[in-house]
A and B are shown apart, each in its own frame.
Chain A
Amino acid sequence: MSTDHRSGGGCCPPMDLMRSEPMQLVQAIIPIESSHQTVSYLGDLGLIQFKDLNADKSPFQRTYANQIKRCGEMARKLRFFRDQMTKASVFPSALTVAHPNVNFDDLEAKLCELETELLEVNSNNGKLQRTYSELLEYVLVLQKAGEFFYTAQDSATAQHRQNEENIYSDGSIEKPLLDQEMFIDHSKQVKLGFVSGLVPKGKSMAFERILFRATRGNMFLKQAAVEDLVTDPVSGEEVAMIVFVVFYSGERAKTKILKICDAFGANRYPFTEDVGRQKQMIDEVSGKIKELKVTIDAGLQHRDNLLKTISCQFEQWNLLVRKEKSVYHTLNMLSLDVSKKCLVAEGWSPISASTQVQNVLQKAAKDSNSQVGSIFQVLNTNAPPPTYFQTNKFTSAFQEIVDAYGVARYQEANPGVFTIVTFPFLFAVMFGDWGHGICLLLTTLYFIIREKKLSTQKLGDITEMIFGGRYVILMMAISSIYTGFIYNEFFSVPFELFGKSAYACSDSSCSDAYTEGLVKVRPAYSFGVDPEWHGSRSELPFLNSLKMKMSILLGVAQMNLGIILSYFNGSFFRNNLNIWYQFVPQLIFLNSLFGYLSLLIIVKWCTGSKADLYHVMIYMFLSPTDDLGENQLFDGQKNLQMVLLLLALVSVPWMLLPKPLILKKQHEERHQSQAYAMLQSSDDGALGIEPNHASNDHEEFEFSEIFVHQLIHTIEFVLGAVSNTASYLRLWALSLAHSELSTVFYEKVLILAWGYNNIIILAIGIVVFICATIGVLLVMETLSAFLHALRLHWVEFQNKFYEGDGYKFVPFSFALLTEEEE
């Protein structure tokens, strides 16, 4: 059934937040030269939701795809800057410095320039750093190797001679005739080559082993560990290194050793045997190291300066780029007119904002010096508009709770209005303890008082949620304090705040108090539960009965409110069918059964009768004509019950049958009248289009579908009446759980610890009590009661009237853009 969104109106004066703001589909024809400016100003205004007129085009076919690519490039550069800044621990300053507006093209060029400069600086720094590390290693090699070189060389020579002797002594079969030829000439100095360098400590064992194998033992390796960690030039990491010197003889051994060094990543450095030269080299290298350090420091300083200049304007540039990107995305949604001289924009906008939008269009046309102004007009359409509620910081949290279930259909009654009061109230019924309520209040006051500061900060996930819901928690805390007074519980301890208790001992000796109980000597306690109940043996039977009946009464009240809201919906949309054949029978059915139960509860309380209400309700159905006997609460009860039963039985087919039949009749009437209209309009060609359009909407009418839909609706309501009413008993269940937990923590932790008369045990007891209260009662119970109150609203309250199949109004707005951070 399509509803004309301008047909609303009706019985009551308009109320804020009750129904969506009236929306209209607007069209603006904007000349190309002022299009960018116009969209930019509209983004500032934030009151139009643009329709995508180019939905069938791919992202690359759109008009401004190029600009978006440019924006993407700039965003990438900005991200690179941000990474560099974080690495160098330079933080972008907040958006307080107001520089004059930077041009888009200028910004692009500047970002390019800065990026190349930064990359250059970084690569230079990298090179210098590598050279620096290498020089450091060289110094280490010179120093360490110098210590053990000569001893090593001697041992190496000795070993080499030894090896040669062995070879000669083992290998020769023929003994030379002359003895002196067998002797190796000791005076001839054996020329051993050596390789010196650094190898990572972890690989040194394997290094040694492979060298040994490759040279068949014909090498001598001397190592010395370096105490500090050394920065590896290639990887930049700090590794434990070992200085080594390998002595070898022969060219083949040399090549093998060099290859092995390369394989192990051991850096080789030249070493001279000459002591004088060694000292000279050490001094030279140390000098070079100092110079290099100065150069590197200067380089880093340059980079930091660069980053600092970037950081001053970073936030502003970031914002600008994001704004431009969104403006071009929006421009891509506008369709290009045939003449290619203007863009056509279509979008939803609140009717109340039309003057503002027109002013903005004019201003943009003027500012961009275009010769033609923009044209603004309202389009008529049957498409469903988005739903828009004007909320402030207080009501927005409650509206979000409702929207989480489903966004309201355009202009249907918004449960958010009543949720503002009933949600904290039902929470408090399950949480009633004014001590805990005060704790919640203090927590949320902290968030509210530091609102301005916290809203600009970046908070963690959970803190963000609590901050967002601070007003909801405030209402919940205030309601909990109220119900805490009513249940008379302060961390489960009752107080006599509102006059004296109604109960006292029957005589001065109080002998009966433990068997028969106290006696009611004064009128009922004026506000809340009498303090004498707490801790008594009959506390639970009394409180259970009280809380169960309270849950039923509150539940029936809220469900009736829901049904009455469906009446307001029906009268707003001028849907008489819904009023007479849905609202009325639903109201009658619910109240003749559960409204009557509520009445019985109240009468029983007022008269103090001992009637069994379960019995009364069940036998009202099983044997309505029987005499009530001792379950009679008032005269004429039997007849009243029979009438109510009859009303309930009648209301079921009243909900089921008339509406589909009447819809069918209406459809047939429309069809017939359309047939006549088409015959008439066959003379005027122009009008012939409209009836076709209308008939396309109504052609699909399946009676069986409508009937089944109504059947399901009826069954849901009838069965739901029982199950939803029983569902409200969770108010009793959670309130019982809360008070029992509170009692246990108080009595079994605090009082127990107090009883020992020991300060340490008392201190431990207090700590345990506080932790248990915060963890279980203030966090877990709060979440639990929040969840159940939410469920009661979403299901039991809203299924009486809420459709919730609309879509939310999301305008093109720069303010929303800054909220959705990367």
Chain B
Amino acid sequence: MAFWVTTLIFVLCGVIASLILRLFCNKGPSTNLLHFTLAMTATVCCWMMWAIVYLAQLNPLIVPILSEE
């Protein structure tokens, strides 16, 4: 459940970033498409990294064993 919520948050961040870019750096359709592509790529990369690390910890096969200190 938390996974999908956070995924939704990432999607929203991506959309907001695209909107902000569109508002402040509107330089014609081809440039806007470039900005949009970059924003989407960045969002996907960040989301992938988070999702991988999150999923790996959902059902772990080993637990932390503290070391003697």
- A439 within 8 A of partner (CB): no
Interface string of B33-69 (1 = CB under 8 A from A): 1100110011001101110111111111111111110
A532 is an interface residue with CB less than 8 A from chain B: yes
CB-CB nearest in chain B for A432: B49
With a cutoff of 8 Å between Cβ atoms, the chain A residues found around residue B29 in the complex are 13-14
Complex Cα–Cα for A515 and B68 (A):
10
* B48 and A538 within 8 A (CB): no
**A524-554 vs B: 1/0 string, CB under 8 Å?**
1111111011011111011001100110011
Kindly list chain A residues whose C-beta atoms are within 8 Å of the C-beta of B58: 524, 605-606, 608
Whether A550 pairs with B53 at a CB distance below 8 angstroms is yes
Give, as a whole number of angstroms, the nearest-CB distance from A474 to chain B: 14
Check A417 for interface membership: any CB of B closer than 8 A. yes
Known contacts A519-B63, A536-B65, A538-B63: A418-B41 contact under CB 8 Å? yes
Does B26 belong to the interface (CB within 8 Å)? Answer: no
- Whether A699 sits at the interface, judged by CB under 8 Å, is no
Residues of B within 8 A of A606 (CB): 55, 58-59
Is A636 positioned at the interface, with any CB of B under 8 Å from its CB? no
Interface status of A51 (Cβ within 8 A of chain B): no
Chain B hits for A425, CB < 8 A: 42, 45, 49
Known: A421-B42, A421-B45, A529-B53. A541 touches B66 (CB 8 A): no
The answer to whether B34 and A17 touch across the interface, beta carbons within 8 angstroms, is: yes
Is A652 an interface position by the 8 A CB rule?
A: no
Chain B residues within an 8 Å CB radius of A516: 63, 65
Residues of the A chain whose Cβ atoms lie less than 8 Å from the Cβ of B30:
13-16
Residue on A nearest B61 in the bound complex, by CB:
A610
Given contacts A483-B49, A550-B52, A554-B48, A607 and B59 within 8 Å (CB-CB) = yes
Q: A482 vs B48: C-alpha distance in the bound complex, in angstroms? A: 12
Q: Does A514 make an interface contact (CB < 8 A)?
A: yes
Check if B62 sits within 8 Å of A538, measured CB to CB: yes
Given A486-B50, A526-B2, decide whether A532 and B56 contact each other with a Cβ distance below 8 A: no
Q: Bound complex: CA of A483 vs CA of B34, how far in Å?
A: 24
- In the complex, whether A420 has a CB less than 8 A from a CB of chain B is yes
> Which residue among A15, A420, A523, A608 has the maximum number of chain B CB atoms within 10 Å of its CB?
A15
CB within 8 Å of B: which A392-408 residues = none
Tell me whether A15 and B65 are in contact in the complex, defined as CB-CB below 8 angstroms, given that A429-B49, A530-B57, A605-B58 are known contacts: no
Most chain A CB atoms below 10 A, which of B42, B54, B57, B61: B57
Whether the Cβ atoms of B50 and A527 lie closer than 8 Å is yes
Interface range, A side: 35 or more
Nearest A-chain residue to B1, judged by Cβ: A523
In the complex, chain B residues whose CB is within 8 Å of the CB of A515: 65
Interface residues of A in 484-536 (CB under 8 A from B): 486, 502-503, 513-520, 523-530, 532-533, 535-536
- Of all chain B residues, which has the CB nearest A610? B61
| CB neighbours of A503 from chain B (8 A) | 63-64
> Are B45 and A549 in contact, CB atoms less than 8 angstroms apart?
no
How many Å lie between the Cα of A605 and that of B53 in the bound state? 10
Are the CB atoms of B67 and A537 closer together than 8 Å? Answer: yes
Closest B residue, CB atoms, query A608? B59
A674 lies within 8 A of chain B by Cβ: no
Contact B2 A538 (CB under 8 A): no
Which residue in chain B gives the minimum CB-CB distance to A530? Answer: B57
State the CA gap A618–B12 with chains docked (Å). 41
Assess whether A226 is interfacial by the CB under 8 Å rule. no
In the bound complex, do residue A16 and residue B31 qualify as a contact, i.e. CB atoms below 8 Å apart? Answer: yes
Is the CB–CB distance between B66 and A536 below 8 Å?
yes
* Cα–Cα distance between A536 and B31 once the two chains are bound (Å): 49
Cα A436 to Cα B27 in complex, Å, equals: 35
| B41 lies within 8 A of A421 (CB) | yes
Chain B residues within an 8 Å CB radius of A422: 41, 45
Cβ A549 vs Cβ B52 within 8 A: yes
Q: Does A119 sit at the interface, judged by CB under 8 A?
A: no
Chain A residues within an 8 Å CB radius of B62: 517, 538, 541-542
Partner of A517, one of B2, B48, B49, B63: B63
Kindly state the separation between the CA atoms of A1 and B62 in the bound complex, as whole angstroms.
Answer: 57
A602 within 8 A of B: yes
**Is there contact, CB below 8 Å, between A539 and B64?**
yes
Q: Is A678 an interface residue (CB 8 A)?
A: no
B interface, CB within 8 angstroms of A:
2, 6, 29-31, 33-34, 37-38, 41-42, 45-46, 48-50, 52-68
Write the residues of chain A forming the contact surface with B, with a CB cutoff of 8 angstroms. 13-18, 417-418, 420-422, 425, 429, 482-483, 486, 502-503, 513-520, 523-530, 532-533, 535-539, 541-542, 545-546, 549-550, 553-554, 557, 602, 605-608, 610
Can you give 22 A-B contacts (C-beta < 8 A)?
A15-B30, A15-B34, A16-B33, A18-B34, A425-B42, A482-B46, A514-B65, A514-B66, A515-B65, A516-B63, A524-B2, A527-B54, A532-B64, A533-B64, A535-B66, A536-B64, A537-B65, A538-B62, A554-B49, A602-B55, A606-B59, A608-B59
Q: A14-B30, A529-B53, A606-B55 are in contact. List 8 more A-B contacts (CB 8 A).
A: A16-B33, A425-B45, A524-B57, A535-B67, A538-B65, A539-B64, A554-B48, A607-B59
